[in-house]
């Protein structure tokens, strides 16, 4: 039997609990002569506060960036059902990269630029391979066939504890995967932490078959091959005619690493907020304050003192 959970207000953003460093303020000093032509930023845990809101200071810094001719692109793991909340966060302008890069929207034109699905059989095979090394997991699914006008509820297995403000159907395990392709599969373990679960999943998942990552929410995500924040950001950059070398990127979790790496390799600049995952702190070329200390805003302000 299916239980339906209604959505909360579309613009009510989920809280992202402040971790170590979330309220740290860092002295940035002179950031040198380099200036970006585009700012790309993660949302939860990076741009947004622990309450899931955009602070007045951050909003002002984003507006100032746009006024200076530097677009701000939100790059998030949130799925299309949360597009309204992402649109609100970004002030309804520019390009939004959702679903870890699998769903990209031009907000100004209300035009979908990219949507990519993983066939059901392939998704099932990846889940089976992962469970062979992790034990039984709890699933939720973002259905790729419903990313148009209908946007039917998320498919969530009983016991998953879905954290976001969107409608969800609670289903028995055998009904969670839909007949058609999926935008992503979420996997939660009752015994393994997200880093350990991710490491095990990657040990048995060929990137040519599927991407696997996590966003710091206690579960991992299985995505179509080649779907990362880097490939999603590339779609946005093509829209603006900006090279990866001219990007300033902010992030906090392992799902941000592909775009951080891409920007680094191209000669752009990557910045980790103070509360970032150790892997992100190690990969980024610079740091700023925590997400509860307006770290992104402070960095943008320091670029244009």
Dump pLDDT digits (tens) for 192-224: 999 999 999 999 999 999 999 999 999 999 999
Specify the pLDDT at position 11. Answer: 35
pTM: 0.92
> Which uninterrupted H or E stretch holds 151?
none
Question: Which segments of the chain have a pLDDT < 50?
Answer: 1-18, 149-150
Cα torsion angle, 243, 206, 181, 260, sign: negative
Query: Is residue 278 within 8 Å of 8, Cβ to Cβ?
Result: no
Token output for 281: 């702190």
Q: Which of 231, 230, 193 is nearest to 214 (CA)?
A: 193
Instruction: For residue 142, list its beta bridge partners.
Output: 184
pLDDT score, position 147: 55
The per-residue pLDDT for 161 is 84
120-223: CATH architecture: 2-Layer Sandwich (3.30)
Q: Are 163 and 101 in contact (CB under 8 A)?
A: no
> Using H for helix, E for strand and C for coil, what is the string for 23-85?
CCCCCCCCCCCCCCCEEEECHHHHHCCCCCCCCHHHHHHHHHHHHCCCCEEEECCCCHHHHHH
**What confidence score (pLDDT) does residue 177 get?**
95
pLDDT at 163: 78
User: Angle CA(277)–CA(131)–CA(169) in degrees, nearest 5?
Assistant: 80
Helices (H), 136-293: 173-176, 194-203, 229-240, 257-266, 278-283
Q: What share of the chain is helix, strand, coil (3-state, %, to 5)?
A: 35, 20, 45
Q: Residue 202: phi, psi to the nearest 5? A: -70, -25
Pairing relation of β-strands 72-75 and 38-41?
Answer: parallel
pLDDT of residue 149: 43
Contacts 24+ apart (CB under 8 A), 137-140: 137/187, 137/188, 137/189, 138/187, 138/188, 138/189, 138/190, 139/173, 139/176, 139/177, 139/185, 139/186, 139/187, 139/188, 140/168, 140/176, 140/185, 140/186, 140/188, 140/219
Nearest CA to 175 out of 151, 158, 162 is that of 158
- pLDDT tens for 68-95 read 999 999 999 998 888 999 999 999 999 9
Enter the CATH code of domain 38-115+228-303. Answer: 3.40.50.1000
The answer to whether the beta carbons of residues 102 and 184 sit under 8 Å apart is yes
Backbone angles phi, psi at 81, to 5 degrees: -65, -20
**Adjacent-strand bridge partners of 221:** 186, 213
Task: Parse the chain into domains and list their residue ranges.
Answer: 38-115+228-303, 120-223
Structural element, H or E, at residue 155? strand 154-157
Output the pLDDT for position 124: 97
């Amino acid at each position: 039997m299916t239980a339906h959970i209604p959505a909360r207000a579309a613009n009510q953003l989920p809280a992202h609990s402040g971790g170590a460093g979330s309220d740290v303020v860092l002295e940035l000093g002179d950031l040198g002569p380099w200036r970006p032509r585009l700012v790309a930023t993660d949302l939860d845990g990076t741009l947004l506060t622990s309450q899931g809101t955009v602070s007045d200071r951050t909003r002002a810094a984003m507006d100032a960036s746009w006024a200076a001719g530097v677009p701000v692109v939100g790059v998030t793991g949130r799925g299309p059902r949360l597009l309204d909340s992402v649109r609100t966060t970004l002030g309804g302008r520019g390009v939004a990269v959702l679903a870890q890069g699998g769903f990209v929207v031009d907000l100004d034109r209300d035009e979908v630029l990219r949507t990519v699905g993983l066939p059901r059989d392939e998704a099932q095979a990846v889940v089976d391979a992962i469970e062979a090394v992790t034990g039984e997991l709890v699933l939720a699914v973002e259905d790729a066939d419903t990313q148009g006008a209908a946007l039917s509820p998320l498919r969530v297995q009983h016991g998953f504890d879905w954290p976001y403000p969107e409608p969800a159907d609670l289903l028995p395990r055998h009904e969670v995967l839909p007949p058609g392709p999926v935008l992503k599969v979420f996997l939660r373990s009752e015994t393994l932490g997200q880093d350990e679960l991710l490491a095990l999943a990657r040990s048995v998942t060929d990137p040519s078959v599927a991407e696997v990552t996590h966003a710091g929410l206690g579960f991992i995500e299985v995505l179509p091959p080649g779907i990362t924040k880097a490939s999603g950001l590339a779609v946005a950059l093509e829209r603006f005619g900006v090279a990866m070398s001219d990007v300033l990127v902010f992030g906090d979790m392992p799902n941000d690493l592909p775009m951080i790496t891409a920007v680094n390799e191209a000669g752009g600049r990557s910045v980790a907020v103070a509360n970032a995952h150790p892997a992100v702190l190690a990969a980024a070329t610079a740091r700023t304050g925590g997400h509860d200390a307006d770290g992104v805003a402070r960095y943008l302000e320091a670029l244009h003192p």
